[in-house]
Amino acid sequence: MIPTMLGISIVCFLLVQLVPGGPVEEMISQAQAAANMKGGRNLNPEQIEQIKAYFGFDKPLMERYFIWLSKIVRLDFGNSFAYGESAWSVISSKFPVSLFFGISSFLISYLVCIPLGLAKAVNRKRLLCRQSHKEHPPHYRREAHRPTAAHAN
C-alpha cells in the first residue's frame, strides 16, 4: 500500500508541477497585464525569479517534492490560489455538499439496482426480462454447451 500511495503522490505532484498554466504563469501574466494597463513595462527577469521563489520553483524538482510531501503528511495543504484562503478551509467548506451527493448517489443506485436485479432474477421468463436480456450468439447459449449423447460415454 505504501508504494502505491508513493506512486500516486509522485504522479499528482508531477502533474501539478509540470503542467503549464500553474500559479507562477498566472501571477506573471496578471502582473504583466496590470503593468500594461498602467502604461508600464513588462516584468523584468529579476521580478519573475522572485515570483518563482515565492512559489518554491527556484528549488530542484526532487527538493520541491519532498517539501510538498512533508506538508501533505502533516495535512498542510497550503493556500488556495483560486480562493485566496487556506486550502483546508476550502475543502472543509465544500465537504458537506460532496458528502451529500456521494451518499445520495450511493443510496439511489442501490435502491434502484438491487430491486431491478432481483426482479429480473425472479421473473426471468417473463416478456420484460426477456426483452431486456440481449440474445447471445449460438456458441454462448446453454444448449450449445450441453454434452451430447456421443460425449456422455
The model's pLDDT over 49-61, given as tens digits with 9 standing for 90+, comes to 888 888 888 899 9
Q: Is residue 153 part of a domain?
A: no
What is the spatial distance between Cα 10 and Cα 8, in angstroms, rounded to a whole number?
Answer: 5
How many domains does the chain contain in total? 2
Q: 87 with 77: CB under 8 angstroms? A: yes
- Do 64 and 7 belong to one domain? yes
Least confident span in 20-24, 31-35, 115-119, 130-134: 130-134
- Do 37 and 93 belong to one domain? no
What is the spatial distance between Cα 55 and Cα 24, in angstroms, rounded to a whole number?
Answer: 7
Q: Is residue 22 part of a domain?
A: yes
Q: Which residues pair with 86 in a beta bridge?
A: 79
**Structure-model confidence comparison of residues 82 and 141, the more confident one:** 82
End-to-end CA distance of the chain: 52
Query: Where in the sequence is the domain holding 34, given as residue range(s)?
Result: 2-76
Q: Is residue 82 part of a domain?
A: no
Rounded to two decimals, the pTM is 0.58
pLDDT given at position 142: 56
Type of residue at 71: K
- Do 66 and 94 belong to one domain? no
- Asked whether residue 99 carries a pLDDT value surpassing 90, the answer given is yes
- Do 60 and 17 belong to one domain? yes
